[in-house]
Amino acid sequence: MQITVNNQIHELDDIAITLTQLLNQMNVPEAGTAIARNQNVVPRSQWDESTLENGDQILIIRATAGG
């Protein structure tokens, strides 16, 4: 299965993987993070249930320093 994360192509095993698991694999902390899937923001409460599908475009952002 192939997905893109922040415009980079990721090859994944064809095992169902949730957004929470994706964050863990990428070592991204959950606090201060938001995820959009195919240009739709996914509420934090759904990260545990939402499984990735082939072709998904995932955007992961984090809060950072700024004015």
Partner 1 sequence: MLTLADQTFSSRLLLGTGKFSSRQALADAVKHSQTAMVTMALKRVDTADQDDDILAPLQECGVNLLPNTSGARTAEEAVFAAQLAREALGTSFLKLEIHPDPRYLMPDPVETLKAAEVLVKQGFHVLPYIHADPVICRRLEEAGCAAVMPLAAPIGSNLGLRTKDFIHIIIEGSNVPVIVDAGIGSPSDAAEAMEMGADAVLVNTAIAVAGDPAAMADAFRMAVIAGRQAYEAGLGGRQLVAEASSPLTSFLDLP
Q: Minimum distance from CB of 31 to partner 1 (Å)?
A: 6
Q: Minimum distance from CB of 55 to partner 1 (Å)?
A: 20
Residue 40: CB atoms within 10 A of its CB come to: 8
Nearer to partner 1, 1 or 59 (CB): 59
Task: Supply φ then ψ for residue 44, to 5 degrees.
Answer: -50, -35
Q: Minimum distance from CB of 30 to partner 1 (Å)?
A: 10
Residues that bind partner 1 (CB under 8 A): 5-6, 8, 26-29, 31-36, 39, 41-44, 59-67
- What is the rounded distance in angstroms from the CA atom of residue 20 to the CA atom of residue 29? 10
What is the DSSP-derived secondary structure letter of residue 36? Answer: E
